[in-house]
Every structure is written in structure tokens, then in C-alpha cells.
Structure 1
Amino acid sequence: MPSFDTKLDPNLESVGNAVDTTSKEIGTRFDFKGSSANVEQKERELTLLADSDFQLGQVKDVLINKMSKRKVDVRFLDEGKVEKIGGDKVKQVVKIKAGIEAELAKRITKLIKDSKIKVNASIQGEEVRIQGTKRDDLQAAQALIRKEIDDVPLDFGNYRD
């Protein structure tokens, strides 16, 4: 039975490269000279550090620019609150989304069931598997998911015949 998996999977290598180039640019830019502006990555979490809210915004802009050049969708980023860490210094934790959350998985399966396309959707951990008898139905389901769910960058993979 033909099937495919719908998943949310960022390219962490490209994210790491974007963080590295962001750190290099921050180190060479004149407006960041003598400041504590920095970007750190730990697994699926980025920490942005700066001397002020304005500077934090600039660090974030540089990071987003570098990520878009590396074709990393910025919808993977889940920005946390800006926290004061002493004096005027601020920090922000940005998490990288990976794996479909239960709420989004339920939304996808409900969308497929309500569409009357002859396919089945089932939640497989952090992925949603779509199965059908015809490839055309699977392609229609994929087009429907792309059209209706645009708040996260979903990937489709693990095609089987």
C-alpha cells in the first residue's frame, strides 16, 4: 500500500553553519565592537546575548539573514521571552522545532479525514503517516496539507509503493 510520512525536520548542520557565520559577522561589525553580543547553540536551542534590546534585535536579524541564505526556514524557530541577566544585558532563548507536536498531528489527521480523499492518516510518534491505494490520492493529500498548514515547514518523505 503506497504511503508517505509527514514530518518536521530542520537541517541542524545548516543551522550550526548559520550560527557560526553569525558569530563571525558579530565579531567583525563596527556596531558590535566592545559589546557582549553573541549567539550560542546547544543541540536544538540557540541563546542570543546582547547589551540591549536594540542590539538583540540586530543579532536576531543577522541570524535570520544567515539562516535564509542557507535555506533554513525561519518558521523552525520558536522565540522565547527576552530576559534581563544583569545590568543592561539581555538574553533570549530560541528553540528549534523538530517533530510534529500532538496538537498539529491531530490537526493534520482531522484535515485528511474531513477532505474525503481516500487515504488514511495515522500518528506515528512525531510523524504522521498517510496511506492510500492510489498515488494520485497521496499527491492530492500532500497538496492539501501544503495548502492548509502553512504555519510550520512540513517535509514529506519515506515514500513507499
Structure 2
Amino acid sequence: MADKFSFDIVSEVDMMEVENAVNQSQKELANRFDFKGSKASLELNKNDKKITLVADDDFKMKALKDILEGRFAKRGISLKSLDYKSQEKAFEGYIRQVAEIISGLPSEKAKELAKIIRDSKIKVQTQIDGAKVKVISPKKDDLQQVIAYLKQVSFSLPLQFTNYR
């Protein structure tokens, strides 16, 4: 029997599911009556992990976001993984907005997560290892307590728990 148990906390997004969600959004956009004759569009840049939304006005931009977020939800992708940048004017009076897809735990978010775990007063150790946080304890029950606690806490990124040993 091992004397220490552990698991990793990561924040990953399945880019294939994102691509499918964007494709479904584009199909819905083409079929929606309120977007007939509109230059509204959704475009995914897989290399930069960005989605560019272009709409005629604020009302259509909100509808475009609703379509995209609905497809993300149906595909099981957390909406926390979308980081909307500010709207900007595009060509001929259109509005453009970029949504970055957040994948991985940046170091400041990993530190914040480790602090949340320390503040929970559960007797575990945390190690920040690149884009993941490793949680170590001699008791499996403590690890399960940490997972349950983190599921209750509203963290700004979607969290997955992997490599449970």
C-alpha cells in the first residue's frame, strides 16, 4: 500500500469539442431568420485558440454570444473557458469581439488555487507543477474532501481532477 496518495488539478479544454460547437453555431447562424441578410459571423482560430465574432449591432452580438454559449453548454464545455475581450469597431460599422479559449492553469491562478486549498484547513500538501496543481495526502479521504470542497468553490476557470492515485 502506498504511503502517499495524490491527484492533479488541471484546466483543459477539448479543442475538438470547441470546433464542433463553433461549427454547429455557424450552421444555426445560417438558418436563423433574425440573421438573414446579416454579415454576422463566427470564426475559430485553432492555433491562437480564439473565436472571432462579428455582428451588425449590439443586439445581434448578444444573440451571437447566446448561440455560441448554448452550443458550448450542449457539448459539455464550461463557459468559464471563454474570456471575452472588449468589443471594437470593425469595417463598415460592424462590431467585432474576440473570445479567447482559456486552456491550462496560468501560474497566478495555480497559486490562487493552492491558497484556496490551504485556507480550507484540510491536511493536504499542494505542489504547483507547470500548468497543474498536485495535491498530496496520506489519506484518500482528505483528497476526496478537497475535490468536494473545490466543486463548491466558484473558481474563475473550469477544473478537472486527474491522475487520482
- TM-score of the two chains, using structure 1 as the length reference: 0.92
Residue in 2 that maps onto 1:5: 8
Give 1:33's aligned amino acid: K
Provide the identity percentage. Answer: 39
Match for 1:144 among 146, 149, 154? 149
Tell me whether 106-115 or 53-62 shows the greater mean CA deviation. 106-115
1:14-93 equivalences in 2 (<5 Å): 14-43=17-46, 44-93=49-98
Give 1:145's aligned amino acid: L
Partners in 2 of 1:42 and 1:105 — Cα distance? 26
1:100-111 equivalences in 2 (<5 Å): 100-111=105-116
Match for 1:118 among 123, 131, 150? 123
Q: Aligned residue pairs: how many?
A: 160
Which 5+ residue runs of structure 2 have no aligned equivalent?
none
CA apart distance, 1:117? 2.1
CA apart distance, 1:35? 1.4
More strand by share: 1
Deviations, residues 13-45 of structure 1 (Å, cap 9, x unaligned):
111111001111111222212211111111211
**Structure 1 residue ranges, 4+ long, deviating more than 6 angstroms after superposition:** none
Give 1:7's aligned amino acid: V
Give 1:121's aligned amino acid: T
Give 1:30's aligned amino acid: F
Which 5+ residue runs of structure 1 have no aligned equivalent?
none
**What secondary structure is seen at the aligned counterpart in 1 of 2:164?**
strand
**What secondary structure is seen at the aligned counterpart in 1 of 2:90?**
strand
Give 2:21's aligned amino acid: A
Q: CA RMSD in A?
A: 1.4
**What secondary structure is seen at the aligned counterpart in 2 of 1:81?**
coil
